[in-house]
Structure 1
Amino acid sequence: MGRSDVANKILRHLNRASALGWSLTEALLADEIPRHGIAPELVDPWEISAEVHRLYTQVFQAYADGETPQRLSVLLGAEFGRVRQKYTTTDPRVIGFVSMQFHYTGQQLLERLSTPEQGLVSPYLKVMDDHLYMPLRDTYEAAATHDLDSPSLIAVQHLLPVSTAIAKSVCDLVIRFYPDYKTYSGSLRSPQVKTSSIRDVEMFQVYLCLCVLEDSIRSFQQQLFPLCVMLYPQLNVQWELVQDMLKVLRWEMYDRLDSKAVQIFLPHLLALTEMFSPEVFQNSLPDVGRGLEKG
């Protein structure tokens, strides 16, 4: 089956997959809107579903045209960034609804494909997922403000190329620590959960890079932490698991980066680890909501 056939097969099922995707997103997160004090008008199911539907259509039109996953970032990166910015500007937690809608819609579409077809399109879904879930555009813009010999920029340039390898190693070690752990979506060992776990560790590293480039933990405080406070309990991701992930991430960074880069990242990584401590989390739910309302 050629690219056009696979793309047409996906696009034929996109409407139904999108509807089922929102049903699953709503089942997971609907109660979080009042619980976290999120303004209901910010979570418009029709608008979010339409945005994700449109992005999927653009991605698989590019796939049918023979574009590579790497080229997809160039072609649609600005559009991905626009959607992410739209849903993080007022309340960064809303991007969680967009990301879950993307995730569940993608799962529905993959179920319609053969295993070889899934292997062909999965890299395209990862590009889309990365741009929606991670602050890539903010990181690129922050990097552009630095001189080429900036120690912070050099450290980021060392980390990003190995961030996926680091994420895979971190997840492998965490699975060894928690061999019987089950999340909302299944065992940590399951391919679906492992893919999501790797993506999350990559996300933490991108936020770490952004904070280093901005010399501020603002993005941790205003974006990453509130999003995790909303999503992780619903996904049955315990705070101790996140703490151990951050500990292993620190080990991997020591192992793969030179000492200068590690010293640049370490203060921000320690601040992130402290932010995700169980003591902070126990009192975080109402405080996060109040802080965002004030901001």
Structure 2
Amino acid sequence: MYEFKRVQAAGADINNELLKIWIARYLPEFDKISHHVRNHVEQRLRSSITDEARQATSFNINHHLESDCALAAVDTQQLLSKKLSPSPDSWELQELSIKIKQIYAVLIDSYEKSFIFSPIVDYIHVIDSEERRLEAVDLVIPHFASLMLTVGPLLRELKAVYFSSVNHHLVGFMTTQLHLTRKRILSHLTPYDCTWLVPYLHVLDELMCMPWQRICSIVPSTSNMTQSLAVARKMMPQISSISAYTYQQALQTFPKHISSQGRIQSAAVQASSLRDLNMFQAYIWLCVLEDSSSVIEKQLLPLCLQVFSLTDVQWKLVNFGVQTIIKTILEQLLPHERAIFKKQAGIIESLFLNAQPQEEQVALLQLQTSDAVDAANLTGTSN
């Protein structure tokens, strides 16, 4: 069996284990491919990323990129303009569109010319478990670091547009436009092309909205931090599966929920929901690792209140997502691990509950009461 060569991440201020967990989430989930079609799928995946295939994909995307970005900007304005008061400055919206197009162009160029997954293409047949995924990431890290160096300056320019704006709604406009642009880009591609290109587009989403770089810079300096890190390393590889479970629970609990993107059952809402649930978990683990909830209180919560109010997402659904994530994590922890996690989890739950409109608090408290027995059991075993 092929043994992946271990590579240290550049820079002493990077936690290599957390970096690997972050990057592993971008690898296609080869282990979930059915065995009876696996050989065929692997062949198609390989053929979709030859130099010629990536060049053709890049040409296809670039051919539509200007119109995709322009149409996504129009869609965003139509979606949000009635709710924005005051409306963002037209110059700021134009700058956002220009920066977004530039970043996507750079990502597509990198996909064609500096494919970060090249080192593992010949070994996808042995990436059949989470452990093997983490091992494979060692080969990807240097290429990923190079991509970050390329995209980094453009991300700072994009962030500067809304950080310098007096209109606090601009960040909601930006996240929506990013989502709609990505949706249009992917509409031109085959499923096999999407498998390899989607990670490039998700990188942009996560660098703009999630604190992964801050998470990966955490190096434990005390025994408490070491214990928190051990819990995070155990659970963070499950972020995607916990998000998927939470979304399914939301489907059952709020089957009639409709946001500005459509019904909760729609593909568009599913994609944005999974992204948001991943974001919640990234912030939750940052709080656990830093032993402080300030990053949620000062960054995530204001962002959620802005964006979800603009897109007609009910706050009780947001709260349900946070509650379900925390409950699901607690159920998978050992008693001593729960004690570590619950210190920040309880504060985070309270922050979201207290932030919601007053009229929704009673309904949510009733929903929480229905889970009282399970919560009591978890509390009892964590002492």
Corresponding position: 1:244 with 2:320: yes
Q: Work out whether residues 84 and 95 of structure 1, in 8 Å CA contact, stay in contact via their aligned partners in 2.
A: no
Deviation at 1:118, TM superposition (A): 3.5
User: Which stretches in structure 2 are left out of the alignment for 5+ residues?
Assistant: 1-47, 118-136, 359-383
TM-score between both structures, scaled by the size of structure 2: 0.64
Instruction: Please state how far the C-alpha of 1:88 moved relative to its aligned partner.
Output: 7.1
Closer, same or farther: CA 88–264 of 1 in aligned 2, 3 Å: farther
- Unmatched runs of 5 consecutive residues or more in structure 1: 284-295
Q: Distance in 2 between matches of 1:229 and 1:42?
A: 23
Among residues 207, 213, 217, which one is paired with 1:137 in the alignment?
A: 213
SS in 2 for 1:276: helix
Is 2:261 aligned against 1:185? yes
Q: Offset at 1:116?
A: 4.2
Paired position in structure 2 for 1:76 = 147
Match of 2:250 among 152, 169, 174: 174
Report if the CA contact (8 A) 2:69-2:97 is conserved.
Answer: yes
Partner of 1:44: 92
SS at match of 1:150: helix
Residue 76 (structure 2) aligns with: 25
Percent identity reads: 24
Larger Rg: 2
Instruction: Tell me which amino acid in the other structure corresponds to 1:226.
Output: P
- Superposed CA offset, 1:128-173 (max 9, x none): 22222212122223x1364686222222222321111111111111
Give the Cα separation in 2 of the matches to 1:164 and 1:146. Answer: 28
Match of 2:374 in 1: none
Whole-angstrom distance in 1 between the partners of 2:267 and 2:322 = 21
**TM-score normalised to structure 1 length:** 0.81
**Could you tell me which residue of structure 1 aligns to residue 104 of structure 2?**
56
Equivalent residues of 1:93, 1:227 under 8 A apart: no
Query: What letter is aligned with 2:57?
Result: V
Tell me, yes or no, if the aligned pair for 2:258 and 2:264 is still in contact at 8 Å.
yes
Tell me the alpha carbon deviations over residues 28-85 of structure 1, each in whole angstroms, 9 at most, x when there is no partner: 34455546xx9x5698122222221121111111211251367464233353563576
Query: 2: distance between equivalents of 1:184 and 1:226?
Result: 20
CA-CA distance at 1:90 after TM superposition: 5.8
Please give the per-residue CA displacement for 1:234-287, whole angstroms capped at 9, x wherever unaligned: 22211111122122112210233333333223232222222222x53227xxxx
Greater CA deviation, 221-230 or 155-164? 155-164
Per-residue displacement from partner, 1:80-128 (whole Å, max 9, x unpaired)? 5635764675688644333222111112222233444344422322222
- Given that 1:32 and 1:230 are in contact with CA atoms closer than 8 Å, whether structure 2 keeps it comes out as no
